[in-house]
């Protein structure tokens, strides 16, 4: 009867231990999926913004604009292979942006040829790119497309008119000609239009007193500069320095500056999420140690009998290690399964226009289940060693 009670107690403790590991792995899975999604956003941003040099007006300039003639000057700088005018506007001017892990909705105007120079290539789920010198056409990123529920051929007014718009607010209808596949970074929340339309929006954004005095076809907000394909960030930094030295009235930003800001934010976020998840797992590991030590204490007679009939030290140790590893594996599988299900459900219920929060990757799957299994095995070493070291004669005599 006592043996049956011991077995029942051991099973109960094992279930509680599995529950502890389950909670730890669940935390690791959800927090890890959050970190994976954030890192995917940052990695894409590094590729998108780190593959070219952004040239803007110098600091302190009253109107943050550049003459398009600067493009020809920049093209004369050694190492520059291409340069394009660039315009960018908020999709929802004046509206408060909700908290999100994604990049805010932006209207990006430029030459459609520029996509061929970008390090981050975009592909089309539907439709096609805007035509050169097109007017009234727009390509929507995957997230902004879901937000406004648009299909090829639909019309969308950009920028979106805010509820408290001033009487002089102006927007324009655009025909959706393309919808991009998800990239998990900047392009997902961008609406791409042509240069002519970008200049039109630029004119709308100017103070009323200047609109008729400035020829918007001769100005741009920024210039995107590219080196030859395969040019390293270090080489692009040197080209940026050369632009600043050779071309007056501009400020070229080093790509490494942008990349470093992305990486520093990602490192901090990953460290916080990983530390929280690992803490939960360590607590689960300690529960394995406690369970296995209690199992040894309750099964002294059983261990003594096994050793008395010929079980070796390795046999006994292997049995307890296998049990501890199995507890870790079961807890890991259950925790990962529940954590993955939670992330899928939350992603599926994400409101249109907001980026999903979680990303399950093969690396995360291996880490969560593998770490829990290894944790169980390691946590079982000391109890298994204690069981293996028991003297069968003393164990049977004590019982």
Strands 137-140 and 172-180: parallel
Q: Is the pLDDT of residue 396 over 70?
A: no
Q: Is the pLDDT of residue 3 over 70?
A: no
**Between these two residues, 184 and 58, which has the higher pLDDT value?**
58
Element housing 281 (H / E): helix 255-298
**Angstrom distance (rounded) from CA 265 to CA 260:** 9
Give residue for tokens 């259950």: 334
pLDDT-based confidence at 395, cuts 50/70/90?
very low
Q: Return mean pLDDT, the chain.
A: 82
pTM of the model: 0.74
% of the chain surpassing 70 pLDDT: 77
**Between these two residues, 107 and 33, which has the higher pLDDT value?**
107
Rg (CA), the chain: 31
- Max avg pLDDT among 24-33, 231-240, 361-370: 231-240
Measured in whole angstroms, the distance separating CA 339 from the mean position of its chain's CA atoms is 17
pLDDT given at position 292? 63
pLDDT given at position 64? 85
Per-residue pLDDT tens digits for 11-54: 655 565 677 778 778 888 888 888 888 878 777 777 777 889 99
pLDDT-based confidence at 313, cuts 50/70/90?
low
pLDDT-based confidence at 99, cuts 50/70/90?
very low
Per-residue pLDDT tens digits for 258-279: 888 767 766 666 676 667 666 7
**Angstrom distance (rounded) from CA 163 to CA 189:** 21
**Between these two residues, 51 and 2, which has the higher pLDDT value?**
51
Q: Under 8 Å CB-to-CB from 234, ≥6 apart: which residues?
A: 256
- pLDDT, average across residues 64-91: 95
**Between these two residues, 167 and 17, which has the higher pLDDT value?**
167
Phi/psi of residue 379, nearest 5 degrees? -65, -20
Least confident of 243-257, 325-339, 377-391: 377-391
pLDDT given at position 2? 47
Question: Taking a C-beta distance cutoff of 8 angstroms, is the pair 80, 239 a contact?
Answer: yes
């Amino acid at each position: 009867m006592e043996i049956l009670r011991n077995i029942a107690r051991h099973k109960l403790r094992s279930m509680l231990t599995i529950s502890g590991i389950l909670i730890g792995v669940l935390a690791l899975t959800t927090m890890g999926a959050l970190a994976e999604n954030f890192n995917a956003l940052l990695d894409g941003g590094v590729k998108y913004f780190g593959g070219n040099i952004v040239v803007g007006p110098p600091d302190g300039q009253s109107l943050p604009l550049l003459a398009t003639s600067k493009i020809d000057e920049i093209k004369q700088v050694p190492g520059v292979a291409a340069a394009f005018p660039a315009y960018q506007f908020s999709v929802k001017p004046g509206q408060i942006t909700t908290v999100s892990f994604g990049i805010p909705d932006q209207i990006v105007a430029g030459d459609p040829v520029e996509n061929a120079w970008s390090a981050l290539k975009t592909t089309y789920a539907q439709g096609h790119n805007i035509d050169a010198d097109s007017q009234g056409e727009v390509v929507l990123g995957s997230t902004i497309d879901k937000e406004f529920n648009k299909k090829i051929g639909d019309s969308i007014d950009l920028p979106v008119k805010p509820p408290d718009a001033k009487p002089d607010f102006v927007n324009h209808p655009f025909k959706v000609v393309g919808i991009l596949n998800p990239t998990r970074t900047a392009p997902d929340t961008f609406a791409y239009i042509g240069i002519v339309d970008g200049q039109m929006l630029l004119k709308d954004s100017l103070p009323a007193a200047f609109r008729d005095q400035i020829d918007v076809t001769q100005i741009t907000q920024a210039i995107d500069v590219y080196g030859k394909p395969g040019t390293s960030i270090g080489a692009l930094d040197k080209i940026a320095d050369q632009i600043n030295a050779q071309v007056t009235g501009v400020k070229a930003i080093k790509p490494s500056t942008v990349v470093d800001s992305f990486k520093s934010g990602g490192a901090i976020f990953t460290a916080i999420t990983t530390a929280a998840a690992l803490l939960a797992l360590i607590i689960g590991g300690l529960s394995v140690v406690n369970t296995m030590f209690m199992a040894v204490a309750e099964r002294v007679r059983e261990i003594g009998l096994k050793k008395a009939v010929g079980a070796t030290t390795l046999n006994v140790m292997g049995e307890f290690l296998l049990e501890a590893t199995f507890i870790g594996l079961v807890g890991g599988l259950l925790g990962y399964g529940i954590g993955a299900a939670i992330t899928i459900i939350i992603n599926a219920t994400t409101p249109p226009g907001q980026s999903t929060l979680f990303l399950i990757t093969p690396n995360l799957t291996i880490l969560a289940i593998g770490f829990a299994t290894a944790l169980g095995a390691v946590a079982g070493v000391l109890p298994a060693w204690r069981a293996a070291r028991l003297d069968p004669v003393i164990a049977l005599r004590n019982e």
